[in-house]
Amino acid sequence: MDTHKPLTGGLNQAQGRHYTFASRMAKTPKSFIREILKVTTNPEIISFAGGLPNPALIDVEGIRKAAAAVLEDDGRSVLQYSTTEGYLPLRQYIADRYKKRLGLSISPDEILITNGSQQCLDLIGKVFIDAGDHVSLERPGYLGAIQAFSLYEPVFHPVTLHEDGPDPGMLAHVLDTWPVRLFYGVPNSQNPSGITYTGRRRREVASVMKKTDTLFIEDDAYGELNFGGETMPSMREFLPDQTVITGSFSKILAPGMRLGWVVASREIMESIVIAKQASDLHSNYLSQRIAYEYLTRQDIDDHIRKIRTAYKNQRDCMIQVITEEFPESVTYTKPQGGMFIWITLPEGCSSMVVFEKALEKNVAVLPGSPFYIDGGGTNTLRLNFSNSSEEKIITGIGRLAKVIRGLCAISPCKNTSGQS
């Protein structure tokens, strides 16, 4: 009898049995965000902690019409089982949009519809990561990716993310030292930092990676929400065989429909299809059909322009209050898109203390440490600007500034120079 691993943790007399979980569960961080959001449900709290799109910018009426149309015209079909890859016309639409927006030639065969882009990360983990495999990602890195990949028990190698992109020297060193299966990055308006890689940095990263067999996982959840700068090329342009792109309708259409997609070469897609089928057969077909109906009947470009304008104003407002009211020792990013600003407090200032003090003043912020898999980041904060009105931003960031000023005044550390 195989007894190398105990089957149970022993019986608990009062509550019955205890089961031992797969070892991957011990390696997967509980979502700190999830825990934090629980304490911020009080409607009096102004929250910059979450990562929600502004619900006022969801085109409810357009989606309602699209839902009515597909259920009226083709109800029996849209409610039946469907294909694992997803609705072909929707995949063709996504392919056409890549051509139009970014000049990328992608076949619908290289696209699979997922249950939100978070599921892409799970599928990529399933397909590529054996326990002990090497995975690299930005530092700070997107928490959802850390969680998803952790379930496949890799060894993580973080690469410092500067204001212009990942450190190419550090990336080269990591890829030289370890057989890294994939590098995960968010080149456009990263979560959590808001940073967009410059064109130069993209080319440098690509040139480092080209010499290796490491895949670039390009999470492009925010590429359409670029309101402040040049549209940057996809990493696929530089690494055509080596890039897997993940995309999302959550930020441009509606998160509740849970629709994302993954773009990968046919060889990789073959494995992704098997993993997707084993995971949940296929994505919500009703939502796929509603999305396609919406995208072909409504002016999505006009809708995205509205979101961009609103988020730009919200970002401008938040940056203005930060610039005026935060101590000079605090640095922050100026994102050209997306939903987040990244705050770095003076060294030694604890963002957990800021979180607690701010909560006492009914303001919720997100401490940055969960975005660091190797510790660190204890003096960082993520602020979401997409889901607060300018009025709330002015009030909330004002209160936060007072908290930070109070703490920085008594902070033992010396002030560092601002990066912006």
Report if residue 107 touches its own copies, rule: CB under 8 A.
no
**CB of 304 closer than 8 Å to CB of 195:** no
- What secondary structure letter does DSSP report for 238? H
Query: In whole angstroms, how close is the CB of 261 to its own copies at the nearest point?
Result: 13
Query: In whole angstroms, how close is the CB of 204 to its own copies at the nearest point?
Result: 20
Nearer to its own copies, 134 or 382 (CB): 134
CA atoms 312, 317, 321, 324: torsion sign: positive
Query: In whole angstroms, how close is the CB of 262 to its own copies at the nearest point?
Result: 12
Q: HSE of 219 in the Cβ direction (CA atoms, 13 Å)?
A: 27
Report if residue 56 touches its own copies, rule: CB under 8 A.
yes
Query: Is residue 116 helix, strand or coil?
Result: coil
**Structural element, H or E, at residue 196:** none
How far apart CA 381 and CA 49 sit, in angstroms, is 9
Q: Residue 274: how many CB atoms within 10 A of its CB?
A: 14
Point out which span in 97-105, 194-202, 237-245, 392-400 binds its own copies (CB under 8 A). 237-245
Query: In whole angstroms, how close is the CB of 11 to its own copies at the nearest point?
Result: 8
Report if residue 246 touches its own copies, rule: CB under 8 A.
no
Report if residue 21 touches its own copies, rule: CB under 8 A.
yes
Query: In whole angstroms, how close is the CB of 228 to its own copies at the nearest point?
Result: 24
The amino acid at 163? E
- Residue 376's closest CA among 160, 153, 154, 148? 160
**CB of 188 closer than 8 Å to CB of 142:** no
* Out of 45, 52, 88, 310, the residue judged to bind its own copies by CB under 8 A: 52
- What secondary structure letter does DSSP report for 10? -
Nearer to its own copies, 37 or 401 (CB): 37
Report if residue 28 touches its own copies, rule: CB under 8 A.
yes
Binding-site size, its own copies (CB under 8 A):
95
Scan residues 85-104 and list those touching its own copies (CB under 8 A): none
Query: In whole angstroms, how close is the CB of 176 to its own copies at the nearest point?
Result: 9
Point out which span in 198-206, 239-247, 342-350, 353-361 binds its own copies (CB under 8 A). 239-247
* Out of 89, 228, 233, 255, the residue judged to bind its own copies by CB under 8 A: 255
Query: Is residue 265 helix, strand or coil?
Result: coil
Report if residue 32 touches its own copies, rule: CB under 8 A.
no
Report if residue 306 touches its own copies, rule: CB under 8 A.
no
Report if residue 303 touches its own copies, rule: CB under 8 A.
no
Scan residues 343-382 and list those touching its own copies (CB under 8 A): none
* Out of 35, 39, 42, 80, the residue judged to bind its own copies by CB under 8 A: 80
Query: In whole angstroms, how close is the CB of 41 to its own copies at the nearest point?
Result: 10
C-alpha triplet 81, 82, 84: angle, nearest 5°: 120
Point out which span in 68-76, 194-202, 306-314, 402-410 binds its own copies (CB under 8 A). 68-76
Point out which span in 25-33, 355-363, 396-404, 412-420 binds its own copies (CB under 8 A). 25-33
Query: Is residue 184 helix, strand or coil?
Result: strand
**Structural element, H or E, at residue 157:** strand 155-162
Query: In whole angstroms, how close is the CB of 31 to its own copies at the nearest point?
Result: 6
Nearer to its own copies, 82 or 411 (CB): 82
Scan residues 122-151 and list those touching its own copies (CB under 8 A): 122, 126-134, 144, 147-148, 150-151
How many residues are there in the chain?
Answer: 420
User: Burial letters for 4-19: b for 16+ Cβ neighbours within 10 Å, e otherwise?
Assistant: eeeeeeeeeeeeeeee
Nearer to its own copies, 23 or 420 (CB): 23
Report if residue 75 touches its own copies, rule: CB under 8 A.
yes
Q: HSE of 137 in the Cβ direction (CA atoms, 13 Å)?
A: 29
How far apart CA 54 and CA 33 sit, in angstroms, is 18
Spell out the residues 6+ positions from residue 295 whose beta carbon is closer than 8 angstroms to its own.
90, 93, 253
Phi-psi sector, 153: left (phi>0), alpha (psi -120 to 50), beta: left
Query: In whole angstroms, how close is the CB of 236 to its own copies at the nearest point?
Result: 12
Report if residue 389 touches its own copies, rule: CB under 8 A.
no
C-alpha triplet 223, 98, 84: angle, nearest 5°: 100
* Out of 287, 314, 336, 384, the residue judged to bind its own copies by CB under 8 A: 287
Nearer to its own copies, 206 or 404 (CB): 206
